[in-house]
Structures are given as C-alpha cells and as structure tokens.
Amino acid sequence: MTTFVLVTGAWHGSWCWKRVREALRGAGHAVFTPTFTGIGERSHLLSKDVDLETHIADVMNLIRWEELTDVVLVGHSYGGLVVRSVADRMGERIAALVYLDAFVPENGESLHDRLPPEQREMQVDAAGEVGGWRVPPIPAAVFNVNGTDRAWVDAQCTMQPIACFRQKLRLERDGAPAGPIHYIYASGWEGTPFTQFYDMAKARGWSTREIACGHDIMLDEPEALTAALLEIAAGRSSGQAGG
C-alpha cells in the first residue's frame, strides 16, 4: 500500500480529486486530499492574513498529525510551491515528489515572479475589483477544462488571497525529498506558463511525461493520471532526486 497526499492548485478544494482519489483507494492505497485554509469547504476561514506559509503549514500538519511516512506527494499548479516547501522541510517522509502541471520556483521567488507579466497583471486587476487582497477564480474555459465539467468547476472554485501568489518561496535546504522527483505536463491547453518548468525538469533529469489535456488533469484525464501515479508509486524507490 502507498500513501498519497494530493495537493490542489489555486481556487480548488479537495473536491477536484474525487475521481482520482476514489480510483487510488479502490486500488488499495491510502489517499489524503487536503483543502487549503480559506478555500472550498474551508472558505469561511478566508482572510487577507492567509498566505503561502499558511498553506504549507496545512499540508505539513496533515502529514505530522496523521503520522504519514513514505508519502507520494503530488502538487498541482500553485500547489507546486507548497509541495516544494513541504519536501524541503520534511524530506525524510517523502518517498516521491510529483509536480502536476505545476510551478517550481526557486528559493526567494514567488509564483508571480514566474508568471508571464500579462497573466500577473490580469490577476492584480481582478483582485482590485474585489478589494485588492483576493483573486477571483480564473474561468475553467481558460484552462481548457472539458466542456462537461466547466460549469461545475466554475461553481466550485472560490477566492484565493493574492498574498499566496506574492509571498516568496523560502527553502531551508534544496527543496528535494529523499526520493525521486517527477513532472507531469498537460499539453492540451493554450497560454500555459508551465512549459518552462517542464523543460527545467527534463534538463535536471527528473522523470517526465505528458498528458494531452487541459490544466485540470485530474478532471480531464483521471484514468491516465491514476495510471501514472500508480506507476510512480510502484517505482518510488528508484529514480532521480534533486532540487
């Protein structure tokens, strides 16, 4: 049995993992899908004080109090910053680290530092229309979410504090876990800012693969993603580690 911790991207809650979570549990594995403070079913905790470090603490505390070890840690999109920090601080508990169409900033960089300027300014402008400290969800169509799920995703996503995107990543070591690192790239949507991280992953010798779908891979291609995660879990004792 493998223990998976699946970490969402911005604006999403644990709901987005339903299909993959059920498939992995059906295969006999333990699966945790934490929702960040202030998002989804925890949106009643939304405040301007919530930032990247808050969300890092959400995942670290889950791992600590559930006494999890030998974890396959998966971070989608914005969640890449969170899992990079968790792996940096709790690397001995992480058997494999998976970036799922995710940001992988370096120490001292924020998400906004690695976002194309026009996309960053769109977020800042959108936040300015609702008080300046929170960012409304980006429509699912922008991420090329499949047509069947778009209205549902738009209804489920909630506001995200802009501090999460502006706070600098603080690595205490090199951001690497004890086990291998993988990058899964969604190649089926336009305007993706993640090609830079996919290319970096290949240059660093990480295990890489592509899935031809929109950004929300767990919704567009849950079977393919589940198969990829099971393959990673089966081979988690070998592979390329590194920051």
Which residues are identified as catalytic?
Answer: 77
239 vs 232: CA distance, rounded Å: 10
191 vs 116: CA distance, rounded Å: 9
152 vs 196: CA distance, rounded Å: 30
Largest CA distance in the chain: 48
Instruction: Report CA dihedral (45, 97, 84, 186) to the nearest 10 degrees.
Output: -80
Tokens in use for 99?
């970036």
SS3 sequence, 1-53? Answer: CCEEEEECCCCCCHHHHHHHHHHHHHCCCEEECCCCCCCHHHHHHCCCCCCHH
3-class state of residue 65 by DSSP: helix
* Of 55, 37, 56, 57, residue with least CA distance to 47: 37
Q: What are phi and psi of 185, to 5 degrees?
A: -110, 130
* Of 79, 86, 81, residue with least CA distance to 16: 79
